Amino acid sequence: MTQDVGLQTASASTIRIPVHGTYKIPALRVLSEITSSLSTEDNLESLLERFLGTMIKLAGADAGAVRVLTADGLHLRLVGSLGLPPDVLEQERYIPVECGVCGEAAREHTVHNSTDLKACEERTAHSYFGKQCQRVVAVPLRYQGKMLGVYNLFMATDSPVPEDVSLLFHSISEHLGMALENSRLTRENLRITLTNERQMLANELHDSLAQTMAYMKMRLPLLRDAMENRDESRSNKYLNDLSQALESAYAELRELLSQFRNKMDPRGLLPAIYDIVGDFYDKTGITIDFANQAPDINLTPDKEVQVYHIVREALANVSKHSRANHVALAIEIKQGRYLISIEDNGIGIAGKINADNGMHLGLNIMRERARHLNGEVTVSPGDKCGTRVVLDFPASAQRGDDE
């Protein structure tokens, strides 16, 4: 998920910043380097630490620290420092977000200079503040009015930061603040994706292995009772039931492992479906026709995965339960909606599925996946015989529950 921010580089691009009176740094080069690094750096905290030295040079400071907002929003956590005494550094690991000059920068969302270092001195109980350090500069890393981190620059003199340097810090703040926000959103989306995948896996297990295991658990007391009563006929019957259930559970486990190992074709949904169709007859002995009347299927990768697994599950149900010798798969678009149908010429199991409230044939899993598409899966008798499964969802770019 990305968000665009207007970068204030026009004024800063013409500024050349004097550093300790020995050389100059073009502001545009600094911003260009930051922008380039945002697209290549995987570890954002390492990126922030890497630019700490640049910030120190720009301000003519003697030491510096960079911090990010903690998850509770109450503290700033140190992620990098340069030039701070070790005993001061230990006290700087976490500081309250409202503390001193950092608190002022957080409240007013702008660069702050301060020679009032009483709060820093009291927090660290160290003479560094007020002696080696005469001024602290706080550069907030912000995005859309929210403070996400801060650069602290510690200066040995009480000279204020020049106005043109503060202007450059303003642009740097927006660049890096946007990166922090995008990093947060990426982590949040990853958590959501993992949660959804775990729920999907739980559903898959529930509708396959769990039911078979429940059946075995019910049969086991009956077998025990038959053995205690020396009823050989019943004992053999229940033993055979358990043996068949165990074989079924093993087959279901192998199928689940295969499903989660075999990822969708990275080229996209249509190539992945063509692969399924190409292998279907060889694996099942059931002929299949595929009619694609919507060649330009424009879906996000997450939605493509949902459609792919629904089609796979529907075809797996045909091979396992329908007793069909032919199946027709069709994709079409009507009135702004995608319709994907799988129709077989088998024994007709739609009534049985609906009567069991979707607990068989993975229908509940298919419906759960369809929900992420803002769509639905329906099961009905075929035109002549057999069963027809239809996935119906909007073709427009609407946000699903998984986005």
> To which CATH superfamily is domain 263-403 assigned?
Histidine kinase-like ATPase, C-terminal domain (3.30.565.10)
d(CA 179, CA 15): 24
- The pLDDT of 253-261, averaged and rounded, is 67
pLDDT reported for residue 26: 54
309: confidence class by pLDDT, cuts 50, 70, 90: confident
Domains of the chain by residue range: 12-187, 263-403
Give percent above pLDDT 90 in the chain: 19
90-105 tens-digit pLDDT: 888 888 888 888 878 7
- The pLDDT of 288-301, averaged and rounded, is 85
AA letter at 166? S
pLDDT over 60 (residue 359): no
326: confidence class by pLDDT, cuts 50, 70, 90: very high
pLDDT reported for residue 198: 75
74: confidence class by pLDDT, cuts 50, 70, 90: confident
d(CA 391, CA 156): 69
126-179 tens-digit pLDDT: 888 888 898 898 888 887 777 788 888 998 888 887 777 777 887 777 777 777
Query: Which CATH number describes the domain made up of 12-187?
Result: 3.30.450.40
Q: Helices 232-261 and 301-317 sit at what angle, rounded to 10 degrees?
A: 150
Other CB atoms within 10 Å distance of the CB of residue 161? 21
123-138 tens-digit pLDDT: 887 888 888 898 898 8
d(CA 275, CA 264): 10
